[in-house]
């Protein structure tokens, strides 16, 4: 697939090759319905039209089966929108440069750093290190989603995260604090005590009150793709994507955005996360990273969290604590594909990799 466009014009044209007859027929029918210009030949097609109409074609979750692969490829090829702002409870975040989100787990059992930062003093010290390494958002989590983890009560989660959120808001006021939770009660208390963002790894599935609560507090919201409850999210029992992992993740993230909007959240407050490592095999994670650009047609900024995930271990043979360079490489690729926010355990390697990636592919 290649793209051509004239300066100053909205219309874009794409040359698609190696297409089967069934795909060509479906493309002509669907393109005509969407108001696109489609010219076909022996195994190829030229598709042209305004970006908005091409974006409608680049939605694999609504495409007819013969066009799913074309939709994914087109979504990846469409140019990203210009610099954007993400609105949070403490003001906007500019996304014209990579934003590093530092992971601060205050749990005893997280897969990489469980038990390391369970006191307020240790958590604040770690936050200061992440900030010095380039993190501008700190994501505080009090409930592990590692394979086999058991859910914790709202009271226990609050006991873990609330003192840390309060301390960070007081000690590091220049940073934004995010709370990683699926419980609206936890989100509410944290937002009332200094948090600006809610990172819901259930994609607003598990607590019907979450979207409305975040809308009432003007919070920024990250809706991540996952399946099942907290104890099942990381299980490979969830790794069934007969329609293709990119297409199904895109469709389920679209449903998450629908839940957010139904709860009163405005689009300017929403970020999506494809959920690397959550219910996906190593091969599916690689496929998702390769096709990440297709998620841009959802129209929201993308955050990725590949940090130290097992698929990076499968690719490199490295132990969990040795995967920060692979994490940085994955983040650099994700920036080129359109991601704007990068959730990592160790900020320094990712900061350097993204500095190079942003210089090569500026927004």
Quickly count helices (H) and strands (E) in the chain. 12, 14
Per-residue pLDDT 10s for the chain (363 aa) are 444 444 334 578 999 999 999 999 999 999 999 999 999 999 999 999 998 899 999 998 888 999 999 999 898 888 776 558 999 999 999 999 999 999 999 987 555 554 566 789 999 999 999 999 999 999 999 998 877 777 899 999 999 999 999 999 999 999 999 999 999 999 999 999 999 999 999 999 999 999 999 999 999 999 999 999 998 898 899 899 998 999 999 999 999 999 999 999 999 999 999 999 999 999 999 999 999 988 988 989 999 999 999 999 999 999 999 999 999 999 999 999 999 999 999 999 999 999 999 999 888
- Catalytic position from the list 309, 310, 323, 351: 309
- Cα 199 to Cα 58, 59, 211, 243, 293: the distances in Å are 27, 25, 11, 27, 21
Identify whether 126 is a catalytic site residue: no
CA 48, CA 10: separation in Å to the nearest integer? 10
Identify whether 309 is a catalytic site residue: yes
Burial of 328 (C-beta count, 10 Å sphere; 0-12/13-18/19+): buried
Going along the chain from its start, the domains and CATH numbers come out as: 2-77 (3.30.70), 85-360 (3.20.20.20)
Taking the whole predicted model, whether its pTM rises above 0.95 is answered as no
- Catalytic position from the list 59, 310, 343, 351: 343
């Amino acid at each position: 697939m290649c793209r051509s466009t004239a300066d100053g014009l909205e219309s874009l044209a794409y040359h698609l090759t190696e297409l089967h007859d069934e795909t060509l027929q479906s493309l002509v029918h669907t393109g005509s319905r969407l108001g696109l210009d489609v010219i076909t030949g022996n195994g190829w097609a030229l598709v042209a039209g305004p970006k908005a109409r091409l974006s409608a074609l680049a939605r694999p979750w609504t495409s007819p089966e013969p066009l799913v692969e074309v939709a994914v490829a087109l979504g990846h090829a469409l140019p990203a929108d210009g610099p954007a702002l993400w609105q949070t409870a403490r003001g906007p975040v500019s996304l014209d440069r990579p934003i590093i989100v530092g992971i601060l787990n205050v749990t005893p059992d997280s897969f990489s750093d469980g038990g390391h930062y369970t006191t307020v003093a240790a958590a604040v010290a770690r936050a200061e290190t992440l900030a010095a390494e380039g993190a501008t958002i700190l994501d505080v989590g009090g409930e592990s989603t590692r394979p086999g983890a058991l859910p914790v009560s709202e009271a226990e989660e609050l006991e873990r995260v609330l003192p840390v959120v309060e301390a960070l808001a007081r000690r590091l006021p220049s940073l934004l604090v995010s709370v990683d939770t699926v419980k609206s009660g936890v989100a509410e208390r944290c937002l009332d005590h200094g948090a600006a963002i809610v990172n819901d790894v259930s994609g607003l599935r598990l607590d019907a009150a979450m979207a409305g609560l975040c809308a009432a507090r003007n919070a920024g919201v990250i809706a991540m793709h996952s399946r099942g409850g907290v104890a099942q999210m990381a299980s490979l029992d969830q790794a069934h994507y007969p329609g293709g992992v990119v297409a199904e993740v895109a469709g389920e993230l679209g449903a998450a955005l629908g839940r957010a909007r139904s709860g009163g959240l405005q689009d300017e407050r929403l970020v999506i996360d494809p959920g690397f490592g959550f219910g996906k095999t190593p091969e599916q994670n690689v496929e998702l990273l390769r096709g990440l650009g297709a998620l841009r047609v959802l129209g929201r900024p993308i955050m990725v969290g590949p940090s130290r995930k097992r698929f990076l271990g499968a690719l490199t043979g490295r132990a969990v604590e040795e995967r920060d360079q692979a994490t940085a490489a994955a983040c650099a690729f994700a920036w080129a594909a359109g991601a704007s926010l990068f959730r990592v355990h160790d900020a320094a390697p990712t900061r350097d990799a993204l500095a190079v990636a942003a210089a090569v592919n500026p927004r």
